Structure 1
């Protein structure tokens, strides 16, 4: 009986130790200007706590500029409810009708606080897409290339 209680307490403690970290983004490979799209923020296991503060999303024509967002499409608060999670986070992002058709780069800048000391970091992720006449159901990811 005592061993069962110890195992139950141990399992409960370790269930809360699992932490998640944002590892990339995914967006439709073709997006229609004037419509919105689902930005999928991808997560995976991480050995320490992470407080994800926000995500800013942008688009730039062609391949854009390194480590930049281009035209800002939106920013979204993440906070404690969407930090340390092991599931993907979805945000609806509007794409203005004024965005020209053709190749583009969608980028996201994630602001996070790492560990017990809350060390601030900003990670950027980007995906090459096509601005076209429809929004596709196929997604491309910063993880898959």
Structure 2
């Protein structure tokens, strides 16, 4: 299989899987279903990880409930922007430089994730608003 054909096949498969995942999250509310996995950090340690609330936030985003998206997980929208921009650059839809290609991007992202995780577990104002 040629490289160009293989790339098109991968894009097609990822596109189909993405559409199926979007339909799943649109049709089923993760808060009410047993179909979606629970967070092991929250389930076993009783703390919120930086991803807690993301499944509910995706469901709310697909229903255009932006206030609910932000209340479930404040980092979801910035994360989606970074991921979509990186995909656009990688798939040659955009001729710029990926946010993830910068030298300090991995450390910056890790720092944001860790700080967000710590802050959302503080049980005091205003950080209690970060909990899902």
TM-score of the superposed pair, with normalisation by structure 1: 0.27
TM-score of the superposed pair, with normalisation by structure 2: 0.29
Q: Relative contact order (alpha carbons < 8 A, sep ≥ 6): 1 or 2 greater? A: 1
Greater helix share, structure number: 2
